[in-house]
Every structure is written in C-alpha cells, then in structure tokens.
C-alpha cells in the first residue's frame, strides 16, 4: 500500500507568488498662480493670476462632426421608382378609397409619390397621389407624349386644407354648421383639361373601346387566383 494522498489538498490550486506593490507616481507641487506685471502709470505693480485647469476629458476623435457615411435627411433621399412604372402605364390600385380601379400614371412628384388619374370621366378616379407600393403595374401602356400637365400639379397642390371650426362661445351651438370640403374651381379646371388630353390619346391608339372598357372595369380576384402568379 502506498502513502495516502489528501484529495482536498490536491484539488486546491498551487499558491501564486505575491504581486509586488507598485508605488503611485508622486504628484509635483505645480504652481496654481502666476505673478504678472501690470504696466501703466497708475497701475504699476504686480498681480497674481490663476492658471487655467487642465481638461480631464479628451475626445477620442479630433472632429467628431466630420464622420463619413452619415445618413442624409429625408429631403435629400433619391426617389427611386420601379422600372415597370413609366409615364402612360396603366396601374391597378390595391388600397385607398379607389382600390380596384385602373388608372393612368402621369408623373412622379418630388416626394416620390405617383400622380395618377382615372381619367375621372371614365371611372371616377380624379387626379391624386399614391405610393408605388399600393399599385400593380400592368403591361398596358398609353402614349401620353402629347399630354401637357399644369405646372401647379405639385405636392403642395394636393395637401389637405384645414377647415375653419367655430370656437367655443362664439354664436349659438345649433346655428353653427360644420364646414364641409368642396372641390375648388381650379381642380375642376385641371381635371377636365387632363381628361380631354388623355381621351384624345386613347382615340389615337386605335383601340378606343378596348382601353376604355379596361379602365372602366374593376379589378377583382376569384378562388385559386393569386396576383403574384398572374401576368398583367
């Protein structure tokens, strides 16, 4: 039988040599004030001026504001559009109050939204803006090179108008009526001019009845029909 081995003693790690204590650097007694001479006939003499304290924080970068790859604000973003959407392309709306209608794409606005119209004479969809994620582009296209759009058709043109509400305490409650939005004469004029030009372009295409029937029909899906598997 060999000598007995203490298991507890064997499990303990070997003792490490003690670390030597490092002496802290001695701080020099630097002067906190400086004696400066003050010139002049009346101010002859000296004055003690306190020295500025050293900064305890130093930035990690020399100029943190000049960082490469900083994101641009929304107004400077590029307004990309799908390659299948070009002026004159007939789109199918899949959201909004006019969903299911087919409209004609006119141009892209500065905000990136699409300017479309029914025309209003055909399916009741007026000039309006819509995001390109809410449309399906078809392969049917009209030649609208001869169509000239008014310059005032911008994003500000389609902004919502704030209706004036009667303040509390002004007049009788029952006499005050809620102001209702009404289409301005300017919009009616622009709509009629664009519709006339689009209808003239449809007549020139040679397939007037087919295109007018296509624009006037509502888009719908029946059973076992999937839009991602269909060719429009």
User: What is residue 221's predicted lDDT score, i.e. its pLDDT?
Assistant: 86
At residue 36's C-alpha, the angle toward residues 31 and 42, to 5°, is 150
Task: State the Cα angle at 175 between 173 and 177, rounded to 5°.
Answer: 90
Helix/strand/coil for 92? strand
Residue in this structure with the two tokens 């029914």, named with its chain if needed:
118
**Residue 139's CB: how many other CB atoms inside 10 A?**
9
| SS3 of residue 103 by DSSP | strand
Q: Considering the domain boundaries, does residue 128 fall inside one?
A: yes
Q: Which residues, in sequence order, are CB contacts of 152 under 8 Å at separation 6+?
A: 186, 190
| Mean pLDDT for all residues in the chain | 81
Q: How far apart are CA 217 and CA 100, in angstroms?
A: 9
The domain of 102 spans 89-161+182-219
pLDDT recorded at residue 195: 93
Domain presence at residue 107: yes
36 within some domain: no
pLDDT tens readout for residues 64-112: 566 566 778 877 888 889 999 999 999 999 999 999 999 999 999 998 9
- Which structure tokens are listed for 17? 């040599």
Question: Above pLDDT 90, what percent of the chain?
Answer: 38
Using N-to-C axis directions, what is the helix angle for 208-216 and 185-205, rounded to 10°?
Answer: 130
219 neighbors 92 (Cβ within 8 angstroms): yes
Domain membership flag for residue 32: no
State residue 103's pLDDT score: 95
Number of domains in the chain: 1
Start-to-end CA distance of the chain, whole Å, equals 93
| Residue 202 is assigned to a structural domain of this protein | yes
Rounded mean pLDDT, 59-67: 64
Is 33 within a domain? no
109: phi > 0 → left, psi -120 to 50 → alpha, else beta; which? beta
Which CATH number do you get for residue 195? 2.30.30.30
Look-up: residue for tokens 């449309």?
A: 135
Percent of the chain with pLDDT over 70: 75
Decide if 176 is inside a domain: no
In a domain, 134, yes or no: yes
């Amino acid at each position: 039988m060999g000598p007995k081995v203490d298991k507890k003693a064997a499990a303990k790690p070997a003792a490490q040599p003690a670390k030597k204590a490092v002496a802290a650097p001695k701080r020099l007694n630097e002067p906190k004030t400086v004696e400066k001479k003050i010139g002049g006939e009346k101010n002859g003499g000296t004055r003690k001026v306190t020295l500025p304290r050293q900064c305890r924080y130093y930035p990690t970068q020399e100029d943190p504001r000049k960082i490469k790859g900083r994101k641009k604000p929304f107004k400077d973003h590029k307004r990309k559009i799908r390659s299948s959407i070009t002026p004159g392309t007939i789109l199918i709306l899949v959201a909004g109050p006019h969903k299911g209608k087919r409209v004609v794409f006119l141009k892209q606005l500065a905000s990136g939204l699409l300017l479309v119209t029914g025309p209003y004479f055909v399916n009741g969809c007026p000039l309006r803006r819509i995001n390109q994620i809410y449309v399906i582009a078809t392969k049917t296209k009209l030649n609208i090179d001869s169509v000239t759009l008014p310059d005032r058709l911008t994003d500000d043109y389609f902004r919502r108008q704030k209706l004036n509400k009667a303040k509390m305490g002004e007049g009788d409650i029952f006499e005050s009526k809620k102001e209702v939005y009404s289409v301005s004469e300017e919009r009616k004029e622009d709509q009629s001019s664009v519709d006339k030009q689009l209808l003239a372009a449809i007549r020139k295409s040679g397939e007037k009845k087919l295109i007018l029937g296509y624009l006037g029909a509502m888009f719908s899906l029946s059973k076992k029909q999937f839009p991602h598997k269909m060719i429009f």
